[in-house]
Amino acid sequence: MQDKKVLYINACVRSDSRTDRIARALLARLGGIPEEVRLAEAGLQPLSEERLNRRTRLIEQEDYSDPMFDPARQFQAADEIVVAAPYWDLSFPAILKLYLENIYVTGLVSEYTEEGMPRGLCRARKLWYVTTAGGPYVPDFSYGYLRTLAKDYFGIPETALIHAEMLDVEGFDAEALVDAKIAEIQRL
């Protein structure tokens, strides 16, 4: 039996990221050797008019061989996906939005039915979202957004949220909270 392809989308920019620590505990629990995309080092570019026109032309030709589609092909082919992103300004870092903009390729990760409804083409059965917050965590504009994309647009039927919060609030022991979350993951 072939090992499952686990894709680790790492949107953590700090070398000592608590979010990354928790995500790596999850990756160890999932087993196998994940393929990691460090978004801060991925060289992603926003879709300028020129890039958007080129991308649209290639999609219309159903030519997905251009390297600009590599992240979308990689995402589409994963069996399981782990996204690690700290909770910044009530959402996630902008680099994750840039990644999503680059992978949302009609014909690779989704298509539209005859009725005009999106249908996902991704192979993954589950997307895990790992985050940490200095204060209280509100999932609406981070996990909620990714959960909707995964289920309704990418075709990933199951999502899960792993989060640790209150890590920078006086009176809370950040290390103990992170360690407790890692212990919880090990019991999964």
Q: State mean pLDDT over 176-180.
A: 97
At residue 188, the pLDDT reads 84
At residue 77, the pLDDT reads 97
Q: Which helix (H) or strand (E) holds 164?
A: strand 158-164
Which CATH number describes the domain made up of 6-186? 3.40.50.360
Helix (H, G, I), strand (E, B) or coil at 122: coil
Q: Strand 110-112 vs strand 118-120: parallel, antiparallel, or unpaired? A: antiparallel
Q: Indicate if the pLDDT at residue 1 is higher than 70.
A: no
Report DSSP letters for 118-174, one per residue. Answer: EEE----SEEEEEEE-SS---GGGTHHHHHHIIIIII---EEEEEEE--TTSTTS-H
- Total-model pTM: 0.95
**Distances, alpha carbon 59 to alpha carbons 51, 65, 108, 116, in Å:** 12, 10, 9, 17
What residue type is assigned to position 173 of the chain? D
DSSP single-letter state for residue 88: B
